[in-house]
């Protein structure tokens, strides 16, 4: 029996969707929630007090990057990542496996672990499930992720099956290696590609281990949207009610709304900050490309309905001049984009608690698709989620 | 704008002075001088956003330098006017903007391209020629609190003839700007040039002083002149300007240069020092309350940097969990360690520059405050000597040790 360092309490539900209170060692979060990605121990361009100000509850750190620089030993010596970056709220670290497979061409996965070429001295290195957990224990995040066997979702065939079974085998090695279960919560990751049978085996395998929480992995890798939501729907339906569910790598506002309707609770993505650096702002209508010529003389804020520091003070015209050119440009747009994601999380939570979730989803879709051209996959997902969006669709 | 000298003869052979600059109307507190103009890019500090800017000591941090050249391409003057000018556009309603074309960073005078029609600048958008009429139009849309006339600034090595031309043009453009200014010079600073020639400096200052401007902007420094000849050049200018008007300067950046300027009776400094330090990963650590505590103990445990600043990229800070400066009240020092900033610099994260710019600005404002206190106490010469000496000792010992 694995100890847990979290309390998950569902406060409200609408069909599959749920709003919950997730008490982690460093912060009591409200779900659904979005986690900005702070790869190297910082969210690009924002200070800690700004992150608190916009309502950020939990930050994701990348184990692979942090292990390279400044190094897990150093983080541990200086009292863990919370202390190192002086972040008082919650943290989550990934296992490092995904980063290796996606960033390093020479990564190779065997039963032992992930073999890769060191980016420092090009020597062959091995990341085992034990090591991943050991490193994450040193970093000290509230939630740590099991090392999984990552395969591209677009791959088919026996490799998917192999990866899924290996992920289940590795979870036991992760659990055994976990030295701080009463301070850190180990989440298992459901794999199995787009195959419902494999996903089902994996979910059951992980649920048997009674972990503090579960992630749905192997998505957001270029698969079609219809497959994407079906996997999410299948996994959320099979995962326990009383545990948080985290869909990895999801960050488009529409995807978050759909996944929340299907019963997911947590998301992470570099998208809001990355797209900000390229001059794109997130708005209820979709995207606002601030580099666009039309912005040069637009005297409105990014989003007139947004109350963030940037929208209260700056025009599109001014931002047009600074985005992609000056550091201040990416700072300001990142600030707005993360504010938008925090507001979205909060609106999801509040509307579910207040029993107004369908109205929220309808309102969201109406603004995003004023012509009623809601994508087929969204309509299909909403049907499964039991949310009537017929009034938002073009006849 | 109104300026009053509150304490003269604070040192510097009777030239150093403390003053009060009243910009924001009668209700707001004056800015005490000598003071720093915080350098900006398109009106905002390079890395410090408005919320962190507001957390710096006030009113010390309220003065910002802005270059109208940063807005040549966009937004259009009409859009800027519609938005309501700089204060509205930048969300800095309490701050004071002082506009002058040269920013000493990326908009530099390009004297070869300057002609009788206007001044030429090397800018990020290429070389641009600015005519007085276009400049005044831009100023009208930006609505800065104060603005300098347009000048033909030349480097120190130009011929005597070219230097004379620069003065003639600068005076002519000053008169054109005055004629075009609907406020009749109430918010205008007349630019004094004259290169490295004492007589020409004097002549230009006398001429500009006859104009109906509310203050002076001393141009042409930091453009290759010999540092040894600076005091005489500066004195030639300030000795010929009226006492009761404020004197701004650009091109003097380092603490020693600023001290030299103050000794010559300069009141306000447009400095790029903080920007260069910040980009280089440096943090200021020098003590400036050197007279209060009689404490000349520069951090002797320090082996990196010149003991007035430290380079946080250095590996010795990898595990240093102390703040940049132990008793500093800035956001950076209150929240983060040297080790964290060292890491952020190593991985090229923007937060490193945000945190460094906050601390360095805070620290440099403290240095200006200490200078003011010294002048008010009649101890400016002692302050300057002590400061410069201790820096020199440490610079020398650093050289000897290495
Ligand atoms: Zn906003
Ligand atoms: Zn500080």
Which SS3 state, helix, strand or coil, does residue B293 take? Answer: coil
pLDDT at B293: 55
- Tell me: is residue B125 an annotated ligand-binding position: no
Stronger pLDDT, A119 or B127, i.e. the higher one:
B127
Q: A335-339, B30-34, B106-110, B348-352: which has the minimum mean pLDDT?
A: B106-110
Give mean pLDDT, residues A214-219.
96
pLDDT at B264: 96
Identify the closest residue of chain A to B77 by CA–CA distance: A297
B401 touches chain A (CB under 8 A): no
For the CA atoms of A229, A235, A238, A241, the dihedral, rounded to the nearest 10 degrees, stands at -90
Confidence of residue A101 (pLDDT cuts 50, 70, 90): confident
Whether the pLDDT of residue B298 is over 50: the answer is no
Whether the pLDDT of residue B290 is over 90: the answer is no
Q: Kindly determine whether residue B82 and residue A312, on different chains, have CB atoms separated by under 8 Å.
A: no
CA of B332 from ligand 2 middle (Å) equals 5
Q: Kindly determine whether residue B75 and residue A335, on different chains, have CB atoms separated by under 8 Å.
A: no
Give mean pLDDT, residues B218-231.
95
Contacts A296 to B, Cβ<8 Å: 74-76, 79
d(CA A312, CA A301): 7
Q: Residue A47 gets which letter from DSSP?
A: -
CA of B48 from ligand 2 middle (Å) equals 14
Q: Which two tokens stand for residue A126?
A: 């091995």
d(CA B149, CA B284): 33
Answer for the pair A231, A10: CB distance below 8 angstroms, yes or no.
Answer: no
Identify the closest residue of chain A to B73 by CA–CA distance: A321
d(CA A136, CA A93): 7
For this complex, say whether ipTM is above 0.85. yes
pLDDT at B305: 61
d(CA B164, CA B194): 7
A278-302 confidence digits (pLDDT tens) = 999 999 999 999 999 999 999 999 9
pLDDT at B304: 52
Contacts A299 to B, Cβ<8 Å: 79, 82-83
A142-158 confidence digits (pLDDT tens) = 999 999 998 877 788 89
**Separation of first and last alpha carbons in chain B:** 50
Answer for the pair A319, A303: CB distance below 8 angstroms, yes or no.
Answer: no
B331 touches chain A (CB under 8 A): yes
On average, the pLDDT of chain A sits at 96
B47 touches chain A (CB under 8 A): yes
H helix count then E strand count, chain B:
13, 16
- Tell me: is residue B330 an annotated ligand-binding position: yes
Shortest CA gap B349–chain A (Å): 7
pLDDT at B302: 44
CA of A264 from ligand 1 middle (Å) equals 26
Give mean pLDDT, residues B335-350.
98
Give mean pLDDT, residues B125-136.
95
Confidence of residue B296 (pLDDT cuts 50, 70, 90): very low
Hey, which residues of A are catalytic here?
A: 94, 268
Q: Which two tokens stand for residue B192?
A: 């004094």
Among A40, A49, A297, the residue with its CB nearest the CB of B75 is: A297
Answer for the pair B22, B3: CB distance below 8 angstroms, yes or no.
Answer: yes
Q: Kindly determine whether residue A327 and residue B340, on different chains, have CB atoms separated by under 8 Å.
A: no
d(CA A79, CA A143): 17
d(CA A106, CA A120): 14
Probe site for chain B from A65, A87, A301, A315 (most B CB atoms < 10 A) = A315
Q: Which two tokens stand for residue B399?
A: 């050289």
Q: Which numbered ligand comes closest to the C-alpha of A281?
A: 1
Q: What angle do CA A36, A154, A32 make, to 5 degrees?
A: 30
> Considering only CB atoms, which residues of chain A are within 8 Å of chain B?
40-42, 44-50, 53, 65, 69-70, 74, 77-78, 84-86, 296-297, 299, 309, 312-315, 317-318, 320-322, 325-328, 330-332, 335
Helices (H), B239-304: 255-263, 273-279
d(CA B68, CA B80): 11
Whether the pLDDT of residue B346 is over 80: the answer is yes
pLDDT at A213: 98
Q: Burial of B99 by CB count in 10 Å (0-12 exposed, 13-18 middle, 19+ buried)?
A: buried
Whether the pLDDT of residue B303 is over 70: the answer is no
Q: Kindly determine whether residue B340 and residue A41, on different chains, have CB atoms separated by under 8 Å.
A: yes
Whether the pLDDT of residue A105 is over 70: the answer is no
CA of A88 from ligand 2 middle (Å) equals 20
Which SS3 state, helix, strand or coil, does residue A126 take? Answer: strand
Provide CB contacts within 8 A for A359, sequence distance 6+: A351
Among left, alpha and beta (phi > 0; psi -120 to 50; other), residue B277 is alpha
Q: Which numbered ligand comes closest to the C-alpha of B356?
A: 2
Stronger pLDDT, B294 or B242, i.e. the higher one:
B242
Identify the closest residue of chain B to A53 by CA–CA distance: B51
Q: Residue B115 gets which letter from DSSP?
A: B
The number of C-beta contacts closer than 8 angstroms across A and B is 119
Among left, alpha and beta (phi > 0; psi -120 to 50; other), residue B247 is beta
B84-126 confidence digits (pLDDT tens) = 999 999 999 999 999 999 998 889 999 999 999 999 999 988 9
B24-83 confidence digits (pLDDT tens) = 776 778 999 999 999 999 999 999 999 999 999 999 999 999 999 999 989 999 999 999
Answer for the pair A40, A67: CB distance below 8 angstroms, yes or no.
Answer: no
Confidence of residue B301 (pLDDT cuts 50, 70, 90): very low
On average, the pLDDT of chain B sits at 92
B44 touches chain A (CB under 8 A): yes
pLDDT at A119: 80
Whether the pLDDT of residue A364 is over 60: the answer is yes
Confidence of residue B397 (pLDDT cuts 50, 70, 90): low
Q: Kindly determine whether residue A70 and residue B343, on different chains, have CB atoms separated by under 8 Å.
A: yes
Which SS3 state, helix, strand or coil, does residue B89 take? Answer: helix
Q: Burial of A79 by CB count in 10 Å (0-12 exposed, 13-18 middle, 19+ buried)?
A: exposed
Which SS3 state, helix, strand or coil, does residue A357 take? Answer: helix
Give mean pLDDT, residues A259-287.
98
Q: Kindly determine whether residue A317 and residue B79, on different chains, have CB atoms separated by under 8 Å.
A: yes
Shortest CA gap A340–chain B (Å): 18
Q: Which two tokens stand for residue A338?
A: 């993360």
Q: Kindly determine whether residue B75 and residue A47, on different chains, have CB atoms separated by under 8 Å.
A: no
Q: Burial of A324 by CB count in 10 Å (0-12 exposed, 13-18 middle, 19+ buried)?
A: middle
Confidence of residue A175 (pLDDT cuts 50, 70, 90): very high
Stronger pLDDT, B13 or A231, i.e. the higher one:
A231
Q: Kindly determine whether residue A317 and residue B74, on different chains, have CB atoms separated by under 8 Å.
A: yes
- Tell me: is residue B177 an annotated ligand-binding position: no
Give mean pLDDT, residues B165-188.
97
């Amino acid at each position: 029996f694995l100890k847990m360092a979290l309390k998950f309490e569902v406060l409200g539900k609408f069909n599959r969707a749920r709003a919950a209170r997730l008490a982690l060692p460093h912060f009591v979060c409200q779900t659904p929630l979005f986690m900005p990605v702070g790869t190297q121990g910082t969210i690009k361009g924002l200070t800690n007090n700004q992150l608190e100000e916009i309502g950020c509850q939990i930050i994701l750190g990348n184990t692979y990057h942090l292990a390279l620089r400044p190094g897990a030993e150093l983080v541990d010596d200086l009292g863990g990542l919370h202390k190192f970056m002086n972040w008082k709220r919650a943290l989550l670290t990934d296992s490092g496996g995904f980063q290796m497979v996606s960033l390093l061409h020479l990564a190779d996965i065997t039963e032992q672990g992930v073999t890769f070429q060191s980016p420092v001295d090009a020597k062959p290195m091995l990341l085992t499930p034990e090591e991943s957990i050991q490193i994450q224990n040193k970093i000290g995040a509230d939630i740590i992720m099991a090392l999984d066997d990552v395969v591209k979702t677009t791959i088919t065939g026996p490799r998917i099956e192999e990866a899924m079974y290996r992920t289940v085998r590795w979870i036991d090695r992760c659990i055994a290696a976990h030295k701080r279960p009463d301070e850190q919560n180990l989440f298992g990751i459901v794999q199995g590609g787009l195959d419902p049978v494999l996903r089902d085996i994996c979910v059951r395998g992980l649920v048997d281990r009674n972990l503090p929480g579960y992630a749905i992995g192997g998505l957001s890798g270029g698969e079609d949207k219809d497959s994407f939501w079906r996997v999410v729907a299948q996994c959320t339906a099979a995962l326990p009610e009383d545990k948080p569910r985290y869909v990895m790598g999801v960050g488009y506002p529409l995807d978050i709304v759909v996944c929340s309707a299907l019963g997911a609770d947590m998301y992470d993505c570099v998208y809001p900050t990355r797209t900000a650096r390229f001059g794109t702002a997130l708005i209820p209508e979709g995207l606002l490309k601030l580099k666009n010529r039309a912005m040069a003389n637009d005297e409105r804020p990014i989003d007139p309905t947004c109350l963030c520091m940037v929208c209260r003070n700056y025009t599109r015209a001014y931002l047009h001049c600074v985005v992609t050119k000056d550091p201040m440009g990416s700072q300001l747009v990142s600030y707005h984009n993360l504010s938008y994601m925090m507001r979205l999380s909060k609106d999801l939570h509040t509307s579910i608690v207040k029993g107004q979730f369908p109205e929220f989803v309808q309102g969201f879709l109406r603004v995003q698709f004023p012509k009623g051209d809601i994508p087929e996959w969204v309509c299909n997902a909403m049907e499964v989620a039991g949310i009537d969006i017929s009034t938002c669709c073009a006849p | 704008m109104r300026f009053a000298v509150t304490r003269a003869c604070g040192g510097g052979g009777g030239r150093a002075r403390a003053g009060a600059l009243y910009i924001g109307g009668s209700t707001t507190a004056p800015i005490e001088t000598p003071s720093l103009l915080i350098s900006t890019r398109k009106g905002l500090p390079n890395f410090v956003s408005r919320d962190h800017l507001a957390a710096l000591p006030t009113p010390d941090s309220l003065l910002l330098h802005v270059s109208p050249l940063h807005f040549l391409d966009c937004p259009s003057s009409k859009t800027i006017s519609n938005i309501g000018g700089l204060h509205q556009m930048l969300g800095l309603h309490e701050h004071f903007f002082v506009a002058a074309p040269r920013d000493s960073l990326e908009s530099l005078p390009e004297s070869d391209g300057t002609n009788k029609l206007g001044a030429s600048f090397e800018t990020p958008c290429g070389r641009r020629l600015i005519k007085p009429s276009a400049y005044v139009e831009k100023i009208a849309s930006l609505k800065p609190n104060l603005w300098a006339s347009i000048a033909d600034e030349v480097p120190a090595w130009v011929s005597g003839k070219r230097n004379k031309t620069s003065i003639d043009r600068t005076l002519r453009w000053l008169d054109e700007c005055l004629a075009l200014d609907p406020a009749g010079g109430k918010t205008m600073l007349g630019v004094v040039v004259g290169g490295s020639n004492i007589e020409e400096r004097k002549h230009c200052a006398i001429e500009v002083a006859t104009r109906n401007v509310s203050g002076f902007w001393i141009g042409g420094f930091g453009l290759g002149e010999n540092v040894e000849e600076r005091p005489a050049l500066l004195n030639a200018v300030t000795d010929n300007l009226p006492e009761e008007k404020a004197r701004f300067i650009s091109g003097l950046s380092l603490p020693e240069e600023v001290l030299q300027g103050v000794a010559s009776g300069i009141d306000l400094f447009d400095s790029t020092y903080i920007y260069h330090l910040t980009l280089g990963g440096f943090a200021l650590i020098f003590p400036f309350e050197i007279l209060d505590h009689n404490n000349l103990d520069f951090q002797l445990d320090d082996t990196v940097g010149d003991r007035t600043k430290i380079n946080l990229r250095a590996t010795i800070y990898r595990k240093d969990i102390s703040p940049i400066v132990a008793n500093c009240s800035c956001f950076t020092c209150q929240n983060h360690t040297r080790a964290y900033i060292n890491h952020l610099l190593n991985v090229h994260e923007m937060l490193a520059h945000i945190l460094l710019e906050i601390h360095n600005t805070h620290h440099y404002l403290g240095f200006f405050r200490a200078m003011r206190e010294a002048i008010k106490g009649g101890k400016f010469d002692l302050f300057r000597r002590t400061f410069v000496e201790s820096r020199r000792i440490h610079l020398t010992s650093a050289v000897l040790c290495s």
